[in-house]
Amino acid sequence: MRREWLTGLIREVHLSSKGTYGYRRVHAELTLGMGVSVSDHLVGTLMTIEGLRGLPGPSRIKRLRGVVTADDLVNRKFHRSRPNELWVTDITQHRTREGWLYCCCVLDAFSRKIVGWSIDSSQDTRLVLSALDMAIKTRNPAPGGIVHADHGAQFTSWAFGNRIRSAGLMPSFGTVGDGLDNAMMESFWSSMQIELLNRQRWNTRLELSNAIFEYIEIWHNRARRHSSINYLTPVDFETQSEMNTTHARTTHLTR
């Protein structure tokens, strides 16, 4: 009877993920989100019996020892201990029956949260400036943070660099032509490609724009469990971190 009950919960979680979750993320949702005590092995077994599986992840790429440029302030070390210490940004594109649609995102390396984004039918400097402005206005970062991008013309433009510096932040660029220097952003694009963009054909730019908005704000930031942050969502991870910081400060003051 318990297995039948668990199977029902597993189906519910798998369906709510739009069929994207494998057994590890289903297990995380059951244990962390629903408070159900169950092993990941049993979850995997029940999913196999039911024919449920997640979408395949991005293929593993061997990390090459490339030469980095002097203005790369990250050097492929993306881990950060606090919000707004490192933002990574990039542009992706996808075709609709109306034509190409372009999306620029700014991702906080601390929590994997998308803190700024913009969508347009052309990929010019305005696209990246809109995403950066959204990130700056919503996060109000302290001076000294890094904004890391590739050498695309939009990111190396005077307007983009000036906006970074005017906010008290520092621009950083990876090696020309080496996607591994912006691997965290490439990982996000790969997930969005697998979980959203490639799953259907898109008729209009508006249809795809609405789907991207839902994927970023509702799914990725608030619902999707990320293995790199202990299977929490980015919003939950930041909330938990803030609570831990506040508790540590209160404990210090009472001593």
Say how far residue 253 (Cα) sits from the centre of its chain: 35
State the pLDDT at residue 62.
43
Give this prediction's pTM: 0.78
Question: What are the φ/ψ torsions at residue 112 (nearest 5 degrees)?
Answer: 70, 15
Token pair listed for 20: 């994207």
State the pLDDT at residue 196.
95
State the pLDDT at residue 254.
65
Cβ atoms within 10 Å of 181's Cβ, excluding its own: 25
- Please identify every stretch of the chain with a pLDDT value under 70, giving residue numbers as ranges: 57-71, 176-179, 247-248, 251-255
Distance from C-alpha of 129 to C-alpha of 121, rounded to nearest angstrom: 15
State the pLDDT at residue 255.
66
State the pLDDT at residue 92.
95
Distance from C-alpha of 124 to C-alpha of 252, rounded to nearest angstrom: 49
State the pLDDT at residue 200.
93
